Amino acid sequence: MVQVPVDEEGIVDLDILEILIDKDTVLVSIQLVNHEIGSIQPLREISRIVKEINPQTLIHTDAADAYCRIPINVEDLGVDMLTLSNHKILASKGAGALYVRNGVKVEKIIHGALSTQTLWLGVENVPSIVGFHKAAELVYRDFNKQVTYVKELRERLLNGILDEIQEVLVNGLLGEKRVVDNLNVSFLYVEGEAITIELSLNGIYVSSGSACTSRVLEPSHALLAIGRRHEEAHGSILFKLSRYHSPEDVEYTLKVLQESINRLRRISSIKPRRAKNVH
């Protein structure tokens, strides 16, 4: 397995990708949206590059953090396989979805008794599947309106942080190339773990780095990949917004966040060191 590097905004380096693809490349798998920094990959361009070099190479994308946030069309993206997870759209955990293009053969890795499914043996988690369907239905019932609303909340939160708190780094792309519900910010000279505790005591729940590694006291590999130093990555906070949040929630978060950062910086042992692109 070979990993393709990304630039300082988390976008795959297309020039290096083109060099790495050859006649022996079996699969290229790239997240459509990174779950930590929200950057949207140019997947259509990636697919074009890969298929021009080797039409037999399969292209898979993890679209879990893109689904119900941006329009997705597998034909436009040029992918052969696509995966989704229901908990990413506010449904209960326990179900997912796999798109496989006609003609692509996927071999099952779990063997056992016969089942109605060819890839996954056993009984389906019907409640989670039904919940997955309902959650998607609620989003796509008024998709553009909901996306616009969440984006406005995100921008209000972002602008409030930049206006009220000094020495911060915004991780990832801004504007249309970032999914609307994602905001990742590094607060310099403070540990992210301390921030999450401070906020949780006030009813605000965020994560420091990836939720997948929240119990490991290591800096986010995604932030290190875009060039953040260890101390900058350690101070990162991931905010996720949804249609169930309100402008009042954002204002309350900004108030508590500013007070928490100021207090933590006063007692922090981390010494100031000027970083690039600090706001």
pLDDT of 248 > 70? The answer is yes
Of 27, 106, 130, 212, the active-site residue reads 212
pLDDT band at 217 (very low <50, low <70, confident <90, very high): low
Q: What is the pLDDT of residue 120?
A: 73
Confidence of residue 271 (pLDDT cuts 50, 70, 90): low
Q: What pLDDT does 115 receive? A: 64
| pLDDT score recorded for residue 116 | 66
Rg of the chain over Cα atoms, rounded to whole angstroms, equals: 20
- If we measure between CA atoms, which residue out of 238, 246, 132 comes closest to residue 182? 238
pLDDT tens sequence across 156-176:
999 999 999 999 999 998 888
Contact 195, 260 (CB under 8 A): yes
pLDDT at position 278 is 67
Give the tokens for residue 193: 């773990």
Asked if residue 214 has pLDDT above 70, the reply is no
pLDDT at residue 211 in the model: 45
Q: Which domains occur in the chain, in start order?
A: 14-140 (3.40.640.10), 143-267 (3.90.1150.10)
Structure-block tokens of residue 161: 């942080």
| pLDDT tens string 62-105 | 999 999 999 999 999 999 999 999 999 999 888 999 999 999 99
Tokens of 70: 């941006």
pLDDT, tens digit, 9 for 90 and up, residues 115-158? 667 777 777 889 999 999 999 999 999 999 999 999 999 999 99
* pLDDT value at 53 more than 50: yes
Residue bearing tokens 């298929």: 51
Catalytic status, residue 212: yes
